[in-house]
Amino acid sequence: MCEVTADNFEELFPVIKDEISSASFVAFDCEFTSLHPDPRQNMKNSLFDNMEQRYKKLTSSPLPAIISQIGLSIFKQLPGFKADQYEARSYNFFVCPRSFASVDHHFACQASSLEFLTRHGFDFNKFLYQGISSLNREQEARLRADLEEGALFRALDRKLPIQDEELVREVCCKLAAWTSSAEEGALFGPVDTGLLVPLVLHTEVRTKFPLLWSFNQAEGFFVVKVSEERRKELEADESTEQLTEQLVDSMLGFTKVLRHLSESGKPLVGHNCLIDLLRIFRQFETELPANYRLFKQKIHQLFPVIFDTKNICADIKKKVGRRQPKWERLLASSNLNHLFKELTGKSKELAHAPRLLIPQGFSRYSACQAAHEAGYDALLAGSCFLAMAHLLASANRPVCRPLSFQEKLEVLVGLENRVNVARAAVSHANLAGPDPPCLRPTWLHVSTRNDPLCTLKLAECLGRWGTVDVRRVDSKTALVAVGNGAAAEGVVGFLRREKDMTVARYNVLAHSKLARVGLWTSLLISVGLGLALMKSQLKSN
């Protein structure tokens, strides 16, 4: 694993770009400041949710969470036919927004999410002090507008922390005293600019002192005294517009990686990655559309090929089991760590199974586990992706030679752009087309004969049959949604034995007053229109 912060990002970015360009695919994972930023009860996941409802739940929070860490594991199949080998380079990026002018991020933090990160060794100092900046397209446009309108020259508009404004004044005071006696060619510095955006100090110095020129070196910020002629030469080499572009480029930060990843068209691989995709889109691309269908269209344009290993595991489990029953147990759990352990432990026994090669400098994850570190989870997701593709290929027919990456993609045709949806009416979302129909059992209509119905107690009683959700209709009636057919049978049997309760398969006309009112209304309107038509015809005759 290679750790990437603001300190080494610009140095590593060209290397990362080249590796993405030559990759077979890229696996990703994210960690967040909050998993559920909207605490309202009706915003929790439910088996009653269709995808439009789930999308609204995931995007309706007035204060969104942000990605605090993003992992990319870049997989490249090595040439040659002796073995199916992949080189895997894993990067762990700490990402933290920076403020400048009118760009000032607001985001939610959730205590339970921060505790979760703490338990898994997350370094909050690196997140806050060394996090890589980012901008989405609206923020970039706003920053460029601020710079064009001269926000750098107005202390109130540039909205710097008071410490940074004091630093600017202090440096300018020292330069005013120094330049009166300094000779041409004299050097002032280095100046420790701390967290101050260098462009601010460059602009201030070059504007106030016509015979001084500021520049950056590895040691820090420097100022040199120059002649008028030399100053003009330097201005021709580096204009204010170039400095502005440097500022925008530095503020874009990790966004540049995501844009290159999008332009490359490489397949993306995640695990249970719906929330990851939503937050990647909002934080690095643009604000989320209000409409779910429009989001699908835009995310598909951004990343044309996405695989979700959790959905792949659920889909191929029965397919593999029908052909090779003993292999089905390898896919018994779709938990990422369990899945990785099973697949890497047993699938190596398969003929021509893919092998990972970890280059020097990326071997930390080979020596120790780091669950819920984004780079580590990205590596696991990519490894499981390769292993499951090979497992399915081996179940279909004997594999007599190493498979190319393209052949692995062909084995998984139909599973691209299907991302898992937890606890919902559908099992997955199709980002490239219509979502699948609901395959959950029909809802159950439950009512009490005498006492008011306590939905909380009912949910607790039915919890023994697995995932169950209860929705109140009125004081004595509720709807029950269950995860599978076996659970539905168990719930129905239990409720029928309860003397004070009645249970039936939900029927819209029988159990929905609103549906019945709508039906009768439409019927009356139809009859009325028919009578009016008959009356008009009789008059004409």
* pLDDT tens across the length of the chain (541 residues): 689 999 899 999 999 999 999 999 999 999 999 988 776 756 788 888 999 999 999 998 888 899 999 999 999 999 876 678 999 999 999 999 988 878 888 898 999 999 999 999 899 999 999 999 999 999 999 998 888 887 666 666 666 778 888 888 899 999 999 998 888 999 998 888 876 777 788 888 888 899 999 988 878 889 999 998 898 888 888 777 777 888 899 899 999 999 999 999 999 999 999 999 999 999 999 999 999 999 999 999 999 999 999 999 999 998 888 888 888 889 999 999 999 999 987 766 788 889 989 998 888 887 678 888 999 999 999 999 999 999 999 888 888 888 889 999 999 999 999 999 998 989 999 999 999 988 787 888 888 888 888 888 888 888 888 888 888 888 888 898 988 888 888 888 888 888 888 888 887 655 556 655 665 576 667 766 766 777 677 666 5
- Within a domain: 448: yes
Strands 212-217 and 220-225: antiparallel
Contact yes or no for 430/418 (Cβ under 8 A): yes
Are residue 448 and residue 420 in the same domain, yes or no? no
Are residue 275 and residue 209 in the same domain, yes or no? no
| Distance, C-alpha 92 to centroid of its chain | 15
- Within a domain: 439: no
Are residue 114 and residue 97 in the same domain, yes or no? yes
Which of 430, 461, 479 lies at the terminal end of a domain, its last residue?
430
Instruction: State residue 150's pLDDT score.
Output: 73
d(CA 176, CA 205): 10
CATH code, domain carrying 204 = 3.30.1370
- Within a domain: 523: no
Q: What is the pTM of this model?
A: 0.85
332: which DSSP letter?
Answer: S
- Within a domain: 436: no
Are residue 332 and residue 188 in the same domain, yes or no? no
- Within a domain: 529: no
Are residue 76 and residue 217 in the same domain, yes or no? no
- Within a domain: 532: no
- Within a domain: 277: yes
End-to-end CA gap in the chain: 88
Single out the residue of 100, 102, 116 nearest to residue 68, CA to CA. Answer: 116
Number of domains in the chain: 3
Q: Which amino acid is at 463?
A: G
C-alpha torsion angle, residues 284, 286, 289, 295 (rounded to 10): -50
Q: Tokens 């202390």 identify what position?
A: 155
d(CA 438, CA 278): 22
What distances in angstroms separate CA 426 from CA 42, 297, 328, one per listed residue?
Answer: 18, 19, 23
Are residue 67 and residue 23 in the same domain, yes or no? yes
Contact yes or no for 399/387 (Cβ under 8 A): no
253: which DSSP letter?
Answer: B
Indicate the burial class of 298 (C-beta count within 10 angstroms; 0-12, 13-18, 19 or more): middle
CA gyration radius for the chain? 30
* Phi, psi of 190, rounded to the nearest 5 degrees: -75, 150
CATH code, domain carrying 487 = 3.30.70.330
Which of 196, 229, 246 lies at the terminal end of a domain, its last residue?
246
What distances in angstroms separate CA 260 from CA 69, 169, 255, 302, 485, one per listed residue?
Answer: 18, 39, 9, 11, 45
Are residue 332 and residue 401 in the same domain, yes or no? yes
Are residue 175 and residue 314 in the same domain, yes or no? no
Contact yes or no for 501/448 (Cβ under 8 A): yes
- Within a domain: 526: no
State which residues form the domain around 485: 444-506
Are residue 269 and residue 393 in the same domain, yes or no? yes
Are residue 372 and residue 237 in the same domain, yes or no? no
* DSSP H or E run through 156: helix 155-158
Which of 368, 397, 430 lies at the terminal end of a domain, its last residue?
430
Are residue 122 and residue 6 in the same domain, yes or no? yes
Are residue 78 and residue 192 in the same domain, yes or no? no
Helix, strand, coil % in the chain, rounded to nearest 5:
50, 15, 35
